[in-house]
Structures are given as C-alpha cells and as structure tokens.
Amino acid sequence: MSAKKDEAAGAGQDAAAAAEVDAHLEVLLRMAEVAEDGRLAITLTTSGGVVGGFLVGSEAWARRWEQVVAETAGPEHRSEEMALLPRTVQDALGGGEATDTQGLHRFLHLVDVVFLSVPGSPSAPLWRGRTADVSGWALGGPKPAR
C-alpha cells in the first residue's frame, strides 16, 4: 500500500511541475536553441530580481563565454581551460544542454544583460538562470525612461 501512495504522490508532483511549465517560454527557448546566431530581446522576472538581455541558445552562449574569457583573462590565468568550460560540460552531458525528463529546458541563457532591480542598472556580458526561477517575462529588452 505504501508503494502505491508513493507512486501516486510522485505522479501528483509530476503533474504539478508540468502545470507550472510556461509553454510560451519553452517554445522561445527551443527557437533560441535552433537559431544559430539568433537573439531575442527579453526581460525576465526572477526570484532574484528583474534582468533584461538577449535570449540565446546554449551553443551561442558557450561561444560568447569563450569570447569573454579570451578578452578578460590573461595567459597566466589558464584562460584556455576556463574558456572551454561550457563546451566541456556540454560534452560531458552528451552534446547539449541538459533537459528534464520531459525534454524541457532547465536553464536559459542571456547575453548583453542588464540587472534592473538594483540601483544603477549594472550589466554583464553573460547570464544563466534556472527556468523554474522565472516567474514572468516580457518580449523586448529594457528601454531608458523618456
């Protein structure tokens, strides 16, 4: 009887998780993965604040990572190993970004990021976050107030 309860509880959790999936955001993530150099301006609301930037696929994000490391790290900092980190992880995962058991994206990737929830709107070249932490989003990036 206990096994049936555990199985029912697991099925309930799977159904609850599936109900929380934002199908529109998942479609955008899939489009970003197949677009070789595509970028989509997006603003995300997360548990940590509001972030704006360009949504890209994991391969494009890995290429940008390599560029950023090459520009910022000197040879004394073992920059080659650091630059190849995303590709090393992707190779270890079997050639791509890991998805959950239903094939949904667990992470999303932004480039040219602005953090909108902190004074001064600091920026960063790269951002990676859990898809489950996104509570809302808007197409388009942040625009200065008029």
Q: State how far the Cα of 100 lies from the Cα of 138, in Å rounded to an integer.
A: 24
Neighbours of 2 (CB within 10 A): 6
Backbone φ, ψ for residue 92 (5° rounding): -65, -30
* Neighbouring C-alpha atoms within 13 Å toward the C-beta of 36: 0
Query: What CATH number does domain 22-139 carry, 3.40.50.2300, 3.30.465.10, 3.40.50.10190, 2.30.30.100?
Result: 2.30.30.100
pLDDT at 15: 47
pLDDT at 111: 96
Residue type at 114 in one-letter notation: V
pLDDT at 58: 86
pLDDT at 93: 56
Q: How do the pLDDT tens digits run along the chain, 146 residues long?
A: 455 555 555 555 554 455 588 999 999 999 998 887 789 999 999 999 999 999 999 889 888 988 888 777 666 665 666 666 666 666 655 555 555 567 788 899 999 999 999 898 899 999 999 999 999 999 998 776 55
Residues 6+ apart with CB under 8 A from 8: none
The full set of domain ranges for the chain reads 22-139
Is residue 140 helix, strand or coil? Answer: coil
pLDDT at 62: 85
